[in-house]
Amino acid sequence: MNTRTIICALSVTFLSLGTFSFLPWRWSNNVEDSSISTVPVRQGDLVVKIAETGVLRSLRSVSLASEIPSNKAKIAWITPEGSYVEKDAVLVQFDKAPFEEAIERYEASVKEAEATLAQANEDLKLEQANSAQAVETAKHKVFLLEMGLKNILEGEGYLKLKEIEAQKEQADAELVQAESYFRDLKELLQKGWVSQNELDKARLQLDKAKSAAELTGLRANIYKEYVYPAEKEKAEAELRKAKDELVELQKMTYYRILRAQAGLDLAGGKLAVAKKKLEDTKNELEKTTLKAPIAGFVVYKELYISGEKRKVRIGDSVWSDQDIILIPDISKMAVETRIREVDIHKVKTGQDVSVRVDAYPDLALHGNVELIGTLAEKEEGLNAVSKFFNLYIIIKESDQRLRPGMTARAELLVDKLKNVLYVPLEAVYLKDGAYVCYVLSNDTVSVRTVTLGNSNDEFVTIESGLKEDERVCLTEPARMLEIFEKTTGTITSRESSSHTIKYSLDHKSIKSIDSN
């Protein structure tokens, strides 16, 4: 492919005021001077870096809030904002008075509840003893009645029944014997063997035996039919009644004991509540002092207080878990920045980074890439086309002067190139889809197609197209003519054909010719 070389004959002389020359090029025509600079092509070592601007962030920030329930925490004293505090330093002191007064009240409540509990415990013991005694008495009564019934069925009652039956049998036997004796005497009297008087005595004995038999029979029937069943029924009824009374007494004593136990539990519950309130209040008293968990600078948080969003101050009552102070941990800082999409392939985690902060230009810091964002973000603006990725750099050193939010400048070391050709970025131009440099040689400027390599924020390496010590222009020739016309007021002519572009400067010319 042909390349076009522009040969610039720029040896224009302007009266006695000066001459057009190179290194640097200057035109003078009784007007303001304009300078066109050139630089040599260098060969040597080149450090490829990416420079980005970001802000300092603390890797860890600790927020402090009241742990006292509700909004009972009233600020009595607070460390001034911006102060540097050591670990365990007091940051906020809440008003202790309400909690100390509450502790006195709850201590009195605890003592009263302990006395009530002791009385309830004694009441329960007394009720248990009385109930046990009453139940035992009732059980003994049942036992006695059971023995009484058993005595009727198997003891004295049974014996008495047998005695009456025996008496009846004996009376019946005596009656039979009297009747037999009377018949025998009556036969003997007819034979004359006994007297009438003996027969009359025998009749009296018979009548007496009949009466005795009738009486013992009647007594036996009455005892068996009426007395014995009545005694048995009475004993059984008394036993049933005693058993029923025992059951009712057991139920009653059970409920009495339950009631006494409930009284004891209630007293115990009140004591537990009083102790819990006392313990909670003591814990709240301990929480009236907020201490710094880490060393750092005190930053107040903005809160909505009485409908107004502002920072806390003495006298404010704050809610539980409402952050009031933030302490950034400046012992571990990071730089939050971003990298262009075209440079993302040059960055990797662990990569070395040099960091400086605007606030302290002489402070040299070092770090490593910790995290590269996974999602691209567009540049802000209506016509934004560039995309960026978030980049987080961990700083190795710690310095108490560092503050979150400070502007930081990070240089990422991409490569260290050995013995390469390089030129400033300003010396390379894009022309007809190819990168070119304008090379000055023997007072002529020629356009040279170049192949680029790696670059940093100042220089780009040249893989082909240039040689060491050649001088390249930092301004395009066309731009040079514009500057000349603007500064001298001279109108140059431009003639063009398919192969030649002619620029006339006074009586001299700049020509562009084809070369293979």
pLDDT digits (tens, 9 = 90+) for 59-101: 888 999 999 999 999 999 999 998 989 999 999 999 999 999 9
Residue 488: predicted pLDDT = 59
Stated length of the chain: 516
Other beta carbons less than 10 A from residue 387's beta carbon? 15
CB contact at 8 A, 511 and 444: no
Give Dmax over CA atoms of the chain in angstroms: 221
CB contact at 8 A, 374 and 338: no
CB contact at 8 A, 444 and 7: yes
**Helices marked H in 354-476:** none
Residue 12: predicted pLDDT = 28
Residue 178 φ/ψ, nearest 5 degrees: -65, -40
CB contact at 8 A, 314 and 92: no
| Bridge partners of residue 412, in order along the sequence | 50, 353
pTM above 0.85, yes or no: no
What DSSP state is assigned to residue 346? G
Residue 470: predicted pLDDT = 94
CA atoms in the 13 A half-sphere facing the CB of 321? 2
CB contact at 8 A, 413 and 352: yes
Ranges under pLDDT 70 in the chain: 1-36, 380-385, 480-516
What is the DSSP secondary-structure string of 210-259? Answer: HHHHHHHHHHHHHIIIIIHHHHHHHHHHHHHHHHHHHHHHHHHHHHHHHH
N-term to C-term CA, the chain? 8
Tell me the one-letter amino acid at 461: T
CB contact at 8 A, 145 and 236: no
Residue 36: predicted pLDDT = 61
Give every strand in the sheet of 61-65, ordered side by side: 61-65, 323-328, 299-300
Compute the distance between CA of residue 391 and CA of residue 394 in angstroms, rounded to an integer: 10
Other beta carbons less than 10 A from residue 333's beta carbon? 27
In which region does residue 468 sit, left (phi positive, over 0), alpha (psi from -120 to 50) or beta (all else)? beta
Structure tokens at 187: 């036969």
CB contact at 8 A, 5 and 465: no
CB contact at 8 A, 145 and 151: no
| Bridge partners of residue 366, in order along the sequence | 354
Structure tokens at 9: 């004959």
| Bridge partners of residue 502, in order along the sequence | 495, 511
Other beta carbons less than 10 A from residue 510's beta carbon? 22
Residue 493: predicted pLDDT = 43
Pairing between β-strand 34-36 and β-strand 25-27 as defined by DSSP bridges: antiparallel
What DSSP state is assigned to residue 332? S
Could you list the beta-strand ranges (E) of 25-72.
25-27, 34-36, 38-40, 42-58, 61-65
Residue 6: predicted pLDDT = 30
CA atoms in the 13 A half-sphere facing the CB of 208? 9
Q: Which of 266, 322, 327 is nearest to 91 (CA)?
A: 327
Compute the distance between CA of residue 286 and CA of residue 136 in angstroms, rounded to an integer: 56
